[in-house]
Amino acid sequence: MRDRPWWQDAIGYQVYLPSFQDSDGDGWGDLPGLISRLGHLHDLGVTLLWISPFHPSPMRDHGYDVADYRGVDPRYGTLDDVDKLLCAAHERGIRVVADLVVNHTSSEHPWFRSARRSRTDPMRDRYIWRDPAPDGGPPNNWLSHFGGPAWTLDEHTGQYYLHLFTPDQPDLNWQNPEIADEVDDILRFWFDRGLDGFRIDTAHYLTKHPGLPDNPWLAAEDVPVQGGVAAEWLRQDHRYDIEQPSAMDIHRRWRAIADFYHAVLIGEVYILDPARLATYVQADGLHSTFWFGLVESGWAPERVATMLRAAAAAAPTLAWVQSSHDRKRAVTRYGSARRAIAVATLLMGLPGIPFLYNGEELGLPDGTIPPGHAQDPLAAADGGSQSRDGARTPMPWEPGPGLGFTTAPTAWLPFGNRRPSDTVAVQQDDPFSPLSIHRRLIAARARTACARTAPLWLEDSGDVLGYRTGSVVVAANLSEAPHPFDPGPGRWRCEFDTDDPEADRVPAELAPGQAVMVRQESSPAVV
């Protein structure tokens, strides 16, 4: 019998590196700073750390525009710092994955700088170039996530290049076999250094329809209501620019390499339909992929219940998140930390990989960004309505100037008007703080790992959403009124209760926002 893959029982944690810990007083988080805070992650119970891109970059999209896939940006440290991080994390039982951003490169990458010299340059075919349309405009109607056409005219060579994100992020041409060979080597370079896997950025974007036909426009009644530049992107049926089946062939190729190193591949596949999402984690595809249904949701208990049931049924290896560096924090969207912790409890009991986003364990809402201090290029593109800066403000470690994040008078982003009660130092010894509750929750998940199976959802439980997984029942009261709670016949022991740090007895009633994880100690006697 084959051993259970290590990542199936992992507790994930996302570090947005510029905002986690500054070690040299420049107001910018870095790798030595992260190393100095690994104790916090270990004490929390984290076993899988995902760090945002640290490669050399002009930072037009904060590192998601890579100029050298084998290097480290000096703002973050050195290759030696990466090695030290991997060693220090592994000593604490924490595996490390990094971002793999290969739908596009930076426009400052040597490949693209060479490619735009002439139409016959050897690097030209590593990107997607087309002649202008007959009217001199873009070759087709594809759109950029950041607004406007997904094409920019290169005046020097007279052709347009494709970029589904900013013009500083030209898309790679995955029909060119040189790209696949190069990326294979990049994976092996980092796996040989000890990296434990990759989070695959925009994993479903890699390949495009060979003919580059126009995307159909959606009927007005089918367009989701959303402001900012995203509104334009959502007007199209993205039939030809993303979600091409050929992307999965690339995933399979990477999977063979990753499996050789016992590494994990977790896709960023922004598909909210669980059935479609599940196709990316079948057989020899990606090991896991993030499900973003909760990240896109406000506080709507019935919708949360419906989405969780559908997603859990679709695949047993999803990565569960309710906050990220790309969206408003769950506490802001839900209206309270208590609600976010209740949902986190539900995620912690499911098969797959639950992830926390840095600061989520502190119950943080979005930080406040004063006018004129925005750093997000998406905010610049649409006037701030879709800004991601509020979710990216520096981690509050302790009260006082710099929040323990930096000794600099200012950080790269404003500190966000954090209160002392938001900090790790203040929450550390408070048994009722979000930090203490998350520690207990993660410990309960670890204790019940061997009991975890596909969830069987509790029926007729009113506003209490719950499920049974093996000998464990996980439940949360998502309503605004108390409700009775009965996990079923037999003797039960409470493994976790949001409201009682010392609980071992199962509560007969759940207060609004209260969540529990209980284990069956014996079944009822058969007469």
3-state secondary structure of 451: helix
Phi-psi region at 194: left, alpha or beta (left = phi > 0; alpha = psi -120 to 50):
left
Residue 187 is encoded by which pair of tokens? 């994976």
pLDDT for the residue numbered 449:
85
249 tagged catalytic: no
Q: Which long-range contacts does 425-429 make (Cβ < 8 Å, 24+ apart)?
A: 425/397, 425/398, 425/399, 426/398, 426/399, 427/362
Q: Which residue is associated with the tokens 């159909």? A: 216
Q: Out of 99, 268, 495, 497, pick the active-site residue.
A: 268
Number of helices and strands in the chain (H, E): 14, 18
Q: 61, 99, 168, 201: which one is catalytic?
A: 201
pTM above 0.85, yes or no: yes
Q: Quick check: 41 and 13 in contact, CB under 8 A?
A: yes
What tokens were used for 168? 């500083």
Sign of the dihedral through C-alpha 275, 279, 282, 287: negative
pLDDT of 463: 80
Question: Could you tell me the CA-to-CA distances from 478 to 45, 222, 364 in Å, in that order?
Answer: 26, 30, 19
Q: 3-state class of 472 per DSSP?
A: strand
Tokens of 398: 């302790």
Nearest residue to 359 (alpha-carbon basis) of 304, 318, 322, 414: 322
Please indicate whether residue 268 is annotated as part of the active site.
yes
State the Cα–Cα distance between residues 248 and 245, nearest whole angstrom: 6
Task: Give exposure, 443-482, as e/b (b: 16+ Cβ within 10 Å).
Answer: ebbeebeeebeebeebeebebbbbbbbbbbbbbbbbbeee
Is residue 114 within a helix (H) or strand (E), and if so which, with residue range? Answer: helix 110-115
d(CA 415, CA 373): 11
pLDDT tens digits, one per residue of 121-167 = 999 999 999 999 999 999 999 999 988 999 999 999 999 999 999 99
Residue 525 is predicted with a pLDDT of 52
Q: Which two tokens stand for residue 111?
A: 């490949």
Give pLDDT, residue 331. Answer: 98
Q: What residues have CB less than 8 Å from 244, skipping those under 6 apart?
A: 206, 207, 208, 209
Q: Which amino acid is at 183?
A: V
Hey, what amino acid is at 48? Answer: L
Q: Is 97 helix (H, G, I), strand (E, B) or coil?
A: strand
| Residue with tokens 């530049």, as numbered in its chain | 229
DSSP state of 259: H
Angstrom distance (rounded) from CA 340 to CA 332: 9
Regions of the chain where pLDDT drops below 70: 1-2, 225-229, 378-386, 460-462, 523-527
What CA–CA distances, in Å, run from 265 to 43, 245, 407, 523?
A: 25, 18, 36, 39
Distance between CA 160 and CA 501 in Å, rounded?
Answer: 60
Nearest CA to 237 out of 209, 278, 261 is that of 209
Specify the pLDDT at position 321.
97
